[in-house]
Structure 1
Amino acid sequence: MADRFYRLMGRIQHYAWGGRDFIPALLGLAPEPGLTYAEYWLGAHERAPATVLLTEDEAVPLDRLIAARPEAVLGRRTAARYGRLPYLFKVLDVARPLSIQVHPTRAQAEAGFEEENRRGIPLDSPQRNYKDRSHKPELMVALSDFWLLHGFLPEERLARLLESVPEFHRLRRVWAQGGLPALYRRVMGLAPAEVEAILGPLIARLRRSAAAERTPADAWLLRLAATRRADRGLFSLYFLNLLHLRPGQGIFQAAGVPHAYLQGQNVEVMANSDNVLRGGLTDKHVDVDELLRVVRFEGVQPRLIAPDGSPEAIYAAPTEDFRLTRLGLEPGAAWEGEASSAEVLLLLAGEATLGGGARRLTLRRGQSAVVFAGTAYRIEAAAKTDIFRVSLPAGS
């Protein structure tokens, strides 16, 4: 392995909520009729590891390469601390809303994983909450206009909401007696008929109203009610912050913060985990008791993350598991760096060449590379180029 950077081929996930055109267009593929393209994974997760093209004749899954040569790929410090690539990088095309989700802390994940092992729940069981021992902090950056839910409304806004929406008046006593924990426990404990008793009249009133009179939450309720009319997760459209991100804006999802992606395209980097507690808008397993144990019952004032304006724009996030930067290079411009651990590059637009020693690798739109630890390299742009770079913070 004298050469230290290689083409990386990711894996597509065809989840039902995905779009049909964005990811194939990015990757230069012809979409198959009737198939959805939800996510493109660039990492070493055992469910869908990316493939490293070592030579024209040799391709190896990244997780196997790391298992065989951990220090060569990750570096000594990362290999000793994590033993695997600690992050997973994705491209998402959200055509239909994802489920309401909450991710555990590392301590909660370790305890939950051991408890479900003790109870004999298979790792591939639909009833399994904890697939591994890791937490799952997430950072996303919008590539298009992007709508999502993020964190509970601040207390004063939630109190005003319960007053201003007549159909929610029956929940005011619960709020008055126990605040947010009591309110959320109440709605997550509702049977479908009880959900319909509250939301049915609201949906009927909104359908009679003019579009200009509706809030964004009203509009999303009408959109989702056609297929999920009695879903408890519909309350989250009102009780959580409903955000509209512009291209280039980002947001961080910390442990315990409920969230859901509703529509748009983004890139996302997270700790290399698959631990999810769901809170509705899904047909998958919803473990209400565990959800309520993990969720953080506190109002959130959303903090959008903007790049810092430097040539290598940093999307700062409070985690040691990854670091996301974005390189914008004009034709003929160059950038130089050194990988302290394994890095993943995704060229979103343009054309650029990676160079280091005698090795050169050209990347075009939608193509990716992995750079091994200890590699000094240079990126030279042949056109106006946009590159996302995932690495580890210094000292991780």
Structure 2
Amino acid sequence: MKNGVYKLKGKVMNYAWGGTSFLPGLLHISNPEQKPFAEYWMGAYRLAAAELVTPEGDLSLDSLIREHPEQFLSAQALSRFGELPYLFKVQDVKDILSIQVHPNKKEAEEGFDREEAAGVPINAPHRNYKDRNHKPEVMAALSEFWLLHGFKAQAAIEQTLEDVPEFNILLSLFRKEGLKALYRFVMEMDQVDVNAMLNSLIKRELRKKNDGELTREMPGWWVAKLFHGKNEIGNIDRAIFSIYFFNIVKINPGQGIFQGPGIPHAYMEGQCIELMANSDNVLRAGLTPKHIDVPELMKHTVFESTIPNVMNGEPVLPGETIYPCPVADFGLARIELAAGGGYENRATSLEILVVTEGGILINNSLVLKTGEAAAVLAGEDYHIRASGHCVLFKAFVPAG
């Protein structure tokens, strides 16, 4: 590889929960069929690897890393991870994603080895562990963004059980045996009992939202959104309980949040940048047609109150703020420059840059406009100049 900086073409993922206009607009793609554009992947995940634009044509980032591992990753990252350890995304969340938990590294290794020994095919629908890696995540909002993140304070959960008539019957269990027993009970409840408990609640929330009595800070707003326009309620997803038991978090543009192992969470609405470890290990609690394994979910969930840590980012270089993440796999930075402003750095690993506002010039040769991305190879010195006000995000592997 003769150059150190290349334009990067990611892969669009058309999941049903995605919006129809944000990503097509960002990526300058027409969408006359109004397909859902959920995610834009910029990484080396083999099933959807990004491509470098080179004089020899568009080449798979995954293949190039395998052919030139140290030149792309750095000797340090190659020795520690053996691959690009992160997956970088832009997301547009129109509908609530599945409520989920991720295992830690040791749990992922043990779970993967256990399913391998049991002969569970890697692509089996009921397989929990697709690899031996953990899957911590950090996101930074591009718009007003809403998500569920961890359990509410014990007192707040008790107040919820008192305020929601359908939940009153759960109060004694919670007071006697605590949060884990409460969550296990609702997750293992027979479907007929779930329907009986939640049917009237959903109808009431729909009525209240229609009358303008709910806001996004309230669980009922999201429950009503889930069932809006449906003629029949039918079997009710037990994940509805989680919406009442978890923190509802609002994140403003430029702010971020880290989600580590064991913290139950779900994205609900908005656009964001997401950076995660290179893994597909997800244990789901609901709002999904995919496999749900309640015993495995319970084993890895942190049953403690969580105070969401919404980050504004820490300034480092001029124009650059970093969102601190307690993992070695990845780092995320936001760079904002005024017209004529500049940024200089040396890539300590493979860095991926994506422009979300404005346009930039890298090393006086590569132009990136809104929605375009670039890969900077390890060890490359590079400088950026802004043609006007611009915002870009950088994914990297932290040094040291």
Does the alignment reach a TM-score above 0.5? yes
Residue 331 (str. 1) matches residue 339 (str. 2): yes
TM-score by length of 1: 0.95
Structure 2 match to 1:104: 103
Cα offsets for 1:19-57 (capped at 9, x unmatched): 1111111011111404111100000111211001121x3
Query: What is the CA distance between 1:205 and its match in structure 2?
Result: 3.4
Residue 347 (str. 1) matches residue 347 (str. 2): no
Structure 2 match to 1:174: 173
Structure 1 match to 2:21: 21
SS of 1:112's equivalent?
helix
Query: What is the CA distance between 1:368 and its match in structure 2?
Result: 0.5
SS of 2:314's equivalent?
coil
CA distance in structure 2 between the aligned counterparts of 1:129 and 1:344, rounded to whole angstroms: 29
Structure 2 match to 1:223: 225
Structure 2 match to 1:89: 88
Q: 1:381 aligns with which of 349, 361, 386?
A: 386
Identity of aligned residues (%): 44
Query: What is the CA distance between 1:208 and its match in structure 2?
Result: 4.9
Q: 2:326 aligns with which of 318, 326, 330?
A: 318
SS of 2:143's equivalent?
coil
Listed as ranges, the matches of 1:141-152 within 5 Å are 141-152=140-151
SS of 1:132's equivalent?
coil
SS of 1:269's equivalent?
strand
Greater shift after overlay, 23-32 or 104-113? 23-32
Q: Given the superposition, is the C-alpha separation of residues 311 and 31 from structure 1 closer, same or farther in structure 2, using an over 3 Å criterion?
A: same
Query: What is the CA distance between 1:207 and its match in structure 2?
Result: 4.3
Query: Partner amino acid for 1:218?
Result: G
Residue 195 (str. 1) matches residue 194 (str. 2): yes
Query: Partner amino acid for 1:69?
Result: H
Residue 237 (str. 1) matches residue 243 (str. 2): yes
- Which 4+ runs in 1 deviate beyond 2 A? 203-215, 225-229, 307-310
**Do 1:123 and 1:131's aligned partners in 2 also have CA atoms closer than 8 Å?**
yes
Q: Given the superposition, is the C-alpha separation of residues 33 and 322 from structure 1 closer, same or farther in structure 2, using an over 3 Å criterion?
A: same
Structure 1 match to 2:36: 36
Query: What is the CA distance between 1:384 and its match in structure 2?
Result: 1.2
Cα offsets for 1:225-254 (capped at 9, x unmatched): 346761010101100001121111111111
SS of 2:184's equivalent?
helix
Cα offsets for 1:53-74 (capped at 9, x unmatched): 121x322111111111100111
SS of 1:340's equivalent?
coil
Runs of 5+ consecutive residues of structure 1 not aligned to the other structure:
none
**Do 2:77 and 2:397's aligned partners in 1 also have CA atoms closer than 8 Å?**
no
Structure 2 match to 1:305: 311
Query: What is the CA distance between 1:162 and its match in structure 2?
Result: 1.2
Structure 1 match to 2:122: 123
Structure 2 match to 1:285: 291
**Do 2:135 and 2:278's aligned partners in 1 also have CA atoms closer than 8 Å?**
yes
TM-score by length of 2: 0.94
**Do 2:214 and 2:220's aligned partners in 1 also have CA atoms closer than 8 Å?**
no
Query: What is the CA distance between 1:353 and its match in structure 2?
Result: 1.0
SS of 1:19's equivalent?
coil
CA distance in structure 2 between the aligned counterparts of 1:293 and 1:177, rounded to whole angstroms: 21
Q: Given the superposition, is the C-alpha separation of residues 327 and 228 from structure 1 closer, same or farther in structure 2, using an over 3 Å criterion?
A: farther
CA distance in structure 1 between the aligned counterparts of 2:325 and 2:151, rounded to whole angstroms: 20
Query: What is the CA distance between 1:222 and its match in structure 2?
Result: 1.8
Structure 2 match to 1:45: 45
Cα offsets for 1:304-358 (capped at 9, x unmatched): 0112355101111211111111111111111100001100000111111111xxx
CA distance in structure 2 between the aligned counterparts of 1:132 and 1:337, rounded to whole angstroms: 33
Query: Partner amino acid for 1:348?
Result: T
CA distance in structure 1 between the aligned counterparts of 2:114 and 2:91, rounded to whole angstroms: 32
**Do 1:193 and 1:230's aligned partners in 2 also have CA atoms closer than 8 Å?**
no
Residue 394 (str. 1) matches residue 379 (str. 2): no
Structure 1 match to 2:252: 246
**Do 1:228 and 1:281's aligned partners in 2 also have CA atoms closer than 8 Å?**
no
Query: What is the CA distance between 1:293 and its match in structure 2?
Result: 0.7
Runs of 5+ consecutive residues of structure 2 not aligned to the other structure:
none
SS of 2:272's equivalent?
strand
**Do 1:344 and 1:389's aligned partners in 2 also have CA atoms closer than 8 Å?**
yes
CA distance in structure 2 between the aligned counterparts of 1:364 and 1:222, rounded to whole angstroms: 39
Q: Given the superposition, is the C-alpha separation of residues 9 and 230 from structure 1 closer, same or farther in structure 2, using an over 3 Å criterion?
A: same
Query: What is the CA distance between 1:201 and its match in structure 2?
Result: 2.2
Query: Partner amino acid for 1:342?
Result: L
Query: Partner amino acid for 1:375?
Result: E
Residue 365 (str. 1) matches residue 370 (str. 2): yes
**Do 1:313 and 1:325's aligned partners in 2 also have CA atoms closer than 8 Å?**
yes
Query: What is the CA distance between 1:213 and its match in structure 2?
Result: 6.1
Q: What is the number of equivalent residue pairs in this alignment?
A: 391
CA distance in structure 2 between the aligned counterparts of 1:383 and 1:213, rounded to whole angstroms: 40
CA distance in structure 2 between the aligned counterparts of 1:205 and 1:348, rounded to whole angstroms: 40
Q: 1:272 aligns with which of 272, 275, 278?
A: 278
CA distance in structure 1 between the aligned counterparts of 2:223 and 2:190, rounded to whole angstroms: 18
Q: Given the superposition, is the C-alpha separation of residues 235 and 228 from structure 1 closer, same or farther in structure 2, using an over 3 Å criterion?
A: farther
